[in-house]
Copies of this chain bind each other. A is one copy, B any other.
Amino acid sequence: MKLSKKNLHERLEHVYDVIIVGGGAGGLSAALYLQRYRLSCLVIEKGRGRSFWMQDLRNYLGLPPNTPGRDLLQQGQNHILSLGADYLLGFVEDVQDEGDTFAVKVKVGKKDSTYPVFHSKYVIAASGIIDHLPQLDDMQNVYDYAGYNLHVCMICDGYEIADTRCGLFVNTEGNINTAFVLNWFTPYITVFTQGLFEVGEEMRHKLRDHGYPLVEQPIRRFLGHNHEMTGVELVDGSVVPLETGLVAMGSHYFNEYLKGLDLEWSGSNLVTDSMCRTSHPRLFALGDLKVGLNQVSIAVADGTLAGTAIWREIRRASPPRRWEENLSEPIGAVS
């Protein structure tokens, strides 16, 4: 059921089999599997994750290529609620290992917040990432185009960028190297540093060699209408016409709540085994938070893997059910 400030006290004594931090594609898929394995789980979603912002999910088998990410999330949320999962809008602040269980502290409500603590045998970290975006005075101007033709994922949307005049927006010299992958899709690349850092001579030479203009002036605003970005206006008033954009400015990882646990990391990503188990035996990590491709299909499969691994472990530790309860003797021919 949906939990809120009004009813969450009903669950404070309950020990869930699994608490899932994050209600994106990975977390919802894990809940779907766990509930179908007849285990109890609570999904805690902070809202507005990466797939929420996705205007068109074009590469997930089974959905028409113009499906908004939020439709996938809504369908998944309905699905897991129909299977008896609990779902709470809240922000996970901390996870403590209590030995046999975890204590998961959540901030619920932006005003008059409460801080309930829920308990579970396992935790699945599926809280994902959010892409850094160009920081303009008017962020609404950025949101008007981000997720439309101002893309944030080349693997997802390179196809839409193909052979267009594309602006590549970066915040480090290392991120400029994205240009030399993006050119598989288009050679008409203009690199925007937004004046955030100095570009070394070697990189300048490489860009010149490829014919990719480098724009180092800060951006005043994106131009366009109806969510279709048509170019960039720089602070000096000059305009660079574009047909598409790709933001390659890194990501914020929602993993602060895990920092009290002793886990193996690879940069900001959690290291996991083939079933998405982290170096902690009762903690799993899915999707963008773990090492691997940041794709909806991968997160969904990760949910399958983690859910199945947890079910196997709980099942093997449980006594077998014998045919002796409720039902009478079997009818018919038996040995």
Does chain B have a CB within 8 A of A252?
no
Taking CB atoms and an 8 Å cut-off, the chain A residues in 25-42 that contact chain B are 25, 28-29, 32-33, 35-38
Q: Is the CB of B61 within 8 A of A29?
A: yes
- Copies of this chain, complex-wide, total 2
Residues of chain B within 8 A (CB-CB) of A240 are 330-334
Residues of chain B within 8 A (CB-CB) of A37 are 158-159, 184
- Encode contact with B along A204-238: 1 for CB under 8 Å, 0 otherwise: 10000111111111000000000000010010101
Bound complex: CA A101 to CA B162 (Å): 27
Does chain B have a CB within 8 A of A59?
yes
Min Cβ gap A243→B in Å is: 11
Q: Is the CB of B300 within 8 A of A61?
A: yes
- Interchain CB contact (< 8 A) of A25 among B61, B83, B186: B61
20 intermolecular pairs with C-beta atoms under 8 Å apart: A29-B61, A29-B297, A36-B58, A36-B59, A38-B159, A61-B75, A62-B72, A64-B75, A183-B320, A187-B324, A190-B330, A204-B335, A211-B322, A211-B324, A214-B334, A239-B331, A293-B304, A293-B305, A293-B308, A297-B297
Chain A contact residues, CB within 8 Å of chain B: 25, 28-29, 32-33, 35-38, 58-65, 67, 72, 75-76, 79, 82-83, 155, 158-159, 162, 165, 180-181, 183-190, 204, 209-217, 231, 234, 236, 238-241, 274, 293, 295, 297-298, 300-305, 308, 311, 315, 318, 320-325, 327, 330-335
